[in-house]
Structures are given as structure tokens and as C-alpha cells.
């Protein structure tokens, strides 16, 4: 068994990496909002979105390759990457909603 990674494995790790980055940035944004630092929260959400876009583009590339006939082995690693991406996407949307709620509840001088 070779220790070298194939292209699919590199793509899979890219999905995991960027999804994890996005998730971390989303939680940092929520922490900033908790401190009523909405400018920082907005910047972090933008960075989160950029990471999410990169992860999603890689996922789309893999899906398109499979639809075009490229064989794709279904591995535990691939499932893990999909789980990372789906969880990060869900948490991002929930955190964005939570930030909007915190903003509404912030003292008037903090908005």
C-alpha cells in the first residue's frame, strides 16, 4: 500500500481543512458578537464564507468528476469530509442568525 496521496485524497483533505477553518471563524465571530464587537464579527463571517466557498468548490469538483464518469471510491475519509462540510455549513447559518439576535438585543450604544 502506497503512502502517497492521490488527487482525491488531497481534495478530501482540502474540504476538511477549509471546512474546519470556516467553522472556527464562525465561532470566533460569535464570540466577537457576544462582546458587541459587530464589526469584527462581520469581518470574521466574511472570512468564514470565503473558506466555505473554497471547501464547497472542491466538493463540487469531486461531484462533477463522478458525474462525468470518474470512479470515486467511497471511503471513511470522504464521509468524514462531507460531515465536516455539512456541519460547518449548518453551524455557520445558525451562528449568523445568533449574531443577528445578539445585535438586536445589544444596548443601543453598542450597535
Mean pLDDT over 45-73 rounds to 92
49 within a domain of the structure (yes/no): yes
**Number of structural domains found in the chain:** 1
11 is in an annotated binding site: no
Is 80 part of the annotated catalytic residue set? yes
91 within a domain of the structure (yes/no): yes
82 within a domain of the structure (yes/no): yes
Q: What range defines the domain where residue 21 resides?
A: 7-104
pLDDT at 1 (0 to 100): 42
85 within a domain of the structure (yes/no): yes
- Highest mean pLDDT: which of 11-20, 64-73, 100-109? 11-20
pLDDT at 110 (0 to 100): 67
CATH value at residue 22: 1.20.58.80
78 within a domain of the structure (yes/no): yes
Q: Is the pLDDT of residue 111 over 70?
A: no
**Distance in angstroms (rounded) separating the CA atoms of residues 98 and 30:** 8
1 within a domain of the structure (yes/no): no
Catalytic one among 18, 56, 80, 97? 80
Amino acid at each position: 500500500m502506497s503512502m502517497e496521496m492521490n488527487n482525491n485524497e488531497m481534495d478530501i483533505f482540502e474540504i476538511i481543512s477549509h471546512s474546519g477553518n470556516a467553522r472556527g471563524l464562525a465561532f470566533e465571530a460569535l464570540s466577537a458578537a457576544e462582546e458587541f464587537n459587530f464589526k469584527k464579527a462581520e469581518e470574521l463571517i466574511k472570512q468564514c464564507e470565503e473558506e466555505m466557498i473554497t471547501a464547497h468548490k472542491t466538493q463540487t469538483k469531486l461531484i462533477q468528476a463522478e458525474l462525468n464518469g470518474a470512479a470515486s471510491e467511497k471511503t471513511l475519509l470522504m464521509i468524514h469530509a462531507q460531515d465536516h462540510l455539512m456541519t460547518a455549513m449548518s453551524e455557520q447559518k445558525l451562528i449568523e442568525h445568533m449574531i443577528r439576535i445578539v445585535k438586536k438585543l445589544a444596548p443601543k450604544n453598542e450597535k
